[in-house]
Amino acid sequence: MTIESAAFERYRRSPNAKTNLLRLLFGTVIVVAFWMAATALVLFAGTYAYIVWRLGPSTGQYMQDFLGSPVGILSALASFAGIWIGLWAAMRFVHGEPLAALFGVTRRIAGGDFVKGLVAVLITSLFSEILLYWLQPQIARGPIALSSWLLFLIPIVLLTFLQTSSEEMLFRGYLPRALAYRFRSPLIWAVLPLLVFTSLHWSSASTPAINACVLVSIGTFALLLTLLVYVTGNLGAGLGAHLGNNLTGFLVISHQEGYNGFALLNAKPLEGPGWTNWDAALIAAIGIVSTLLTMLLLLHRRSPLRVGTGKQDLG
């Protein structure tokens, strides 16, 4: 398996001369501001509507009740539109480039790589869920009826794509592209965005051991997503892989208590008690192995899902 840098070199050199550290910092502040504004709008307006219109059962902790409800999950996913809006504003008014410049050198998403990334992660997610079931077989049928699941299937897929694509555009597109334009070292353009992205998944409700295993798993997966951009010079494969990962958790089997409203199956939540340090180490190992298998499927020269070999585009 060989890793070529030619595609990323073209992507790295694609920004215009307005891309400097000061403009990157200003643009990042704009993106974060729109993201936080959208999140605040969802939290406060959604919680208010949840109370006034009695959209679900209440425990007295209204904001948590809202976020844990189906309408709250949909609203939380919709709040990631703030990243898209912020990136458009930053690219347009700070860097003087179209938003599509972040997709790749061709300014189009590689559609073939998107499909390959999606399929590869769906395959390896099945593998990891089998191992997680062996570790902790406490799986129950989710509360959502199959008819309701089918009804919400398309909205969930679309909103999950909104969420995952916004994160890919920011953490595998905007930040690495601009940093790589100024710095050759991957310790800067790759590792810094990876650390920020991974740290955002820290959960105060989980034990330190579980937090550590989750961050290791997510960090490993984020490293693969960055590697896919490096190999292809395009966000397509990462967009598909990230979407497949999150769809599995939102729609098939959930490991998070706060996001299990639409999942057909609910596993023992990682935020819950009863996990040992050995369990955490095994969960991290399963995540790493699953990511390595995904890497083989997407990058091995003999794999039918190898990315970077086609010219199909979306958009």
Instruction: Round to whole Å and give the CA distance between 275 and 214.
Output: 13
- Contact in structure between 94 and 30 (CB atoms under 8 Å): yes
DSSP character string of 143-157: SS-HHHHHHHHHHHH
Nearest to 126 by CA among 252, 267, 299, 261: 252
Contacts of 239 (CB under 8 A, 6+ apart): 109, 114, 117, 161, 164, 165, 168
In the chain, the N- to C-terminal Cα span, in Å, equals 30
Instruction: Provide Rg for the chain, Cα atoms.
Output: 20
CA quadruple 88, 92, 98, 102: dihedral positive or negative?
negative
Report domain extents, the chain.
17-96, 108-314
Contacts of 170 (CB under 8 A, 6+ apart): 31, 83, 87
Instruction: Round to whole Å and give the CA distance between 218 and 203.
Output: 13
- pLDDT per residue, tens digit, the chain (315 aa), is 668 889 999 999 999 988 999 999 999 999 999 999 999 999 888 888 888 877 667 777 777 778 778 888 899 999 999 999 999 999 999 999 999 999 999 999 999 999 999 999 999 999 999 999 999 888 999 989 999 999 999 999 999 999 999 999 999 999 999 999 999 999 999 999 999 999 999 988 789 999 999 999 999 999 999 999 999 999 999 999 999 999 999 999 999 887 888 999 999 999 888 899 999 999 999 999 999 999 999 999 999 999 987 654 555
pTM of the model: 0.94
Give the H/E segment covering residue 254: strand 253-254
- Contact in structure between 149 and 297 (CB atoms under 8 Å): no
Question: Which region, left, alpha or beta, applies to residue 109 given φ > 0 means left and ψ of -120 to 50 means alpha?
Answer: beta
Q: Quick check: helix, strand or coil at residue 140?
A: strand
Give the H/E segment covering residue 278: helix 277-299
